[in-house]
Amino acid sequence: MTFPKFPVVRRLSRFALIGALAAFSPLSFSALESLNDDELGEMTGQAFVSMETYESAPSSDQNLQFTRVNLGLKAEALLNIDKLELGKYERTGEVAGSSDIEIDNFALGAIENGEIVPFEIDSPYLDFAYDGTDLVGFRLGFGGARGILSGDIKSLTGKINVKLEDDNAFGLGARVDSNAELVSNNGSRDSVRSTKIGLANGQVVLATVFGIDTTLTVNDCSTSLTNTNTCFDLSTYRSLPIAGTFNEDHTFNPNSQMAEGIFLGFQSETVDWRESPDVDQYVKALSGAFMNIPSGLQVNLEEAEEGFKRVLTCFNGAETC
C-alpha cells in the first residue's frame, strides 16, 4: 500500500484506526469465562465492530473502493478543545499560513442551568477510500448526532447546512428560500478555507417592489436594487444546533431524530463520500481536511447577520476551561 503525499492523510492513515478504536475501548476489563453450548444458545447480540466494503455511488463519476469500520456504540460527550487546527500547509490561492480548518474554543455539548447537555453520538464509523491499492481518503463520521457544536471559526473547508428563509427580505417583501453556501469575500462560491457563509453570486431572489413581482440577483454580497449584505462572517456563528433548535433563552431544543452525515475527512484528492453504503447520495469532499456539518439551522437575513452567541461549555463560566 502506498500513502499519499498530503501530510495529514499520511500520518493519520497509519495510526487513526488504532487510535480511534482505543478511544472507544472500555476502560476496565475482567477475566474471560467460557460458556457451554446451552449458555451460548441463549445469547443474542450484535458485533461491536463490523466491517463492510462498497464502491463509489452510481451517480458519481469516480471509481473508488471503500472500506468502512462500524463501531456499534452510542456515546454522550462534553468536549472542549482550545484550538482545532487541521490541514496547515501552503495552498495555492489561499492566505499564507492558513489552515483548511481552524476553530478556536471548539466544543461539543453544553451546560444549561448547571447541568450537562451532552453531545450525543450514535454508530460512529471509520471510512477508508482507495484508488486501487492507494489510500486517497480517510474520514471519521457519525451515523447519528445531536447536540450543540461551538467554536470561533477562523477558516473552514467543507459544508454547513444552513437554511435562509425570509418573507420580507431587504424590506421589499422579497422571498428568500435558499440554502446558504460557503462564499468568498466577494460572494463567489468558495468552500476552501472560507470565512463567510451566505447567498452566492448569481442566486435569484423573488421580490415584490411597489406591488410588482420581480427578481433580484445576488452579486458581490448584495442584491440589485439594495445594498443589503448577503454574506455573513462564520465567526459570528459561535454555536450551532445539530438536530435541534435554540429556544428563546438559547437553551437547546432537541429533535426526536438525530442528524445524519456529520464527518471529518482527510483526502489527497477529491473524494465523493457516500452518505451511506447503500444510498446513491454523496458529499463531494475536496482534497485536504474537510468538515461536513449537517446543522439544519434555519434563519432569516437579520438572524444570519447577527449570528448566534456561544452557549456555556465550561463549568467555570468562561469560554476556555
Which tens digit of pLDDT belongs to each residue from 58-108?
999 999 999 999 998 999 999 999 999 999 999 999 999 999 999 999 999
Q: How far apart are CA 144 and CA 136, in angstroms?
A: 25
Which tens digit of pLDDT belongs to each residue from 189-231?
999 999 999 989 998 877 766 677 778 888 999 887 777 788 9
pLDDT by residue for the chain (321 residues), tens digit each?
433 444 444 333 333 433 443 444 433 334 556 666 666 566 555 567 899 999 999 999 999 999 999 998 999 999 999 999 999 999 999 999 999 999 999 999 999 999 999 999 999 999 999 999 999 999 999 999 999 999 999 999 999 888 888 777 666 666 777 888 999 999 999 999 999 999 899 988 777 666 777 788 889 998 877 777 889 999 999 999 999 989 988 899 999 999 998 999 999 999 999 988 778 889 999 999 999 998 767 788 788 888 889 999 998 877 777
How far lies 21's CA from each of 18, 48, 112, 121, in Å? 5, 11, 31, 15
The residue among 226, 219, 222, 221 whose CA lies nearest residue 173 is: 226
Give the distance, in angstroms, between the CA of residue 124 and the centroid of all CA atoms in the same chain: 14
- The answer for residues whose C-beta is within 8 angstroms of residue 318's C-beta and 6 or more apart is none
The domain containing residue 72 runs over which residues? 7-24+46-306
> How many structural domains is the chain composed of?
1
Asked if 175 and 165 count as a contact pair (C-beta separation under 8 A), the reply is: no
Asked if 159 and 182 count as a contact pair (C-beta separation under 8 A), the reply is: yes
Q: How far apart are CA 40 and CA 56, in angstroms?
A: 39
Phi, psi angle pair for 7, to nearest 5°: -60, -35
Q: How far apart are CA 183 and CA 190, in angstroms?
A: 5
Question: How many Cβ atoms sit within 10 Å of the Cβ of residue 170?
Answer: 20
Question: How many Cβ atoms sit within 10 Å of the Cβ of residue 131?
Answer: 16
Task: Identify the pLDDT of residue 165.
Answer: 80
Q: How far apart are CA 123 and CA 106, in angstroms?
A: 22
Q: How far apart are CA 11 and CA 32, in angstroms?
A: 35
Residue entry with cell 450537562 = 116
Residue 40 lies inside a defined structural domain of this protein = no
The residue among 130, 148, 125, 128 whose CA lies nearest residue 138 is: 128
- The answer for residues whose C-beta is within 8 angstroms of residue 15's C-beta and 6 or more apart is none
The residue among 65, 59, 62 whose CA lies nearest residue 281 is: 59
Residue 41 lies inside a defined structural domain of this protein = no
Give the distance, in angstroms, between the CA of residue 284 and the centroid of all CA atoms in the same chain: 13
Residue 318 lies inside a defined structural domain of this protein = no
Mind spelling out the 3-state secondary structure of 87-120? EECCCCCCCCCCEEEEEEEEEECEEECCEEECEE
Look at the chain and count its residues.
Answer: 321
Query: CA quadruple 286, 291, 296, 299: dihedral positive or negative?
Result: negative
Residue 65 lies inside a defined structural domain of this protein = yes
Residue 127 lies inside a defined structural domain of this protein = yes
The residue among 266, 174, 150 whose CA lies nearest residue 222 is: 174
Beta bridge partners of 292: 159, 263
Residue 202 lies inside a defined structural domain of this protein = yes
Residue 70 lies inside a defined structural domain of this protein = yes
Residue 110 lies inside a defined structural domain of this protein = yes
Strands 158-169 and 288-299: parallel
Asked if 245 and 229 count as a contact pair (C-beta separation under 8 A), the reply is: no
Q: How far apart are CA 313 and CA 316, in angstroms?
A: 9
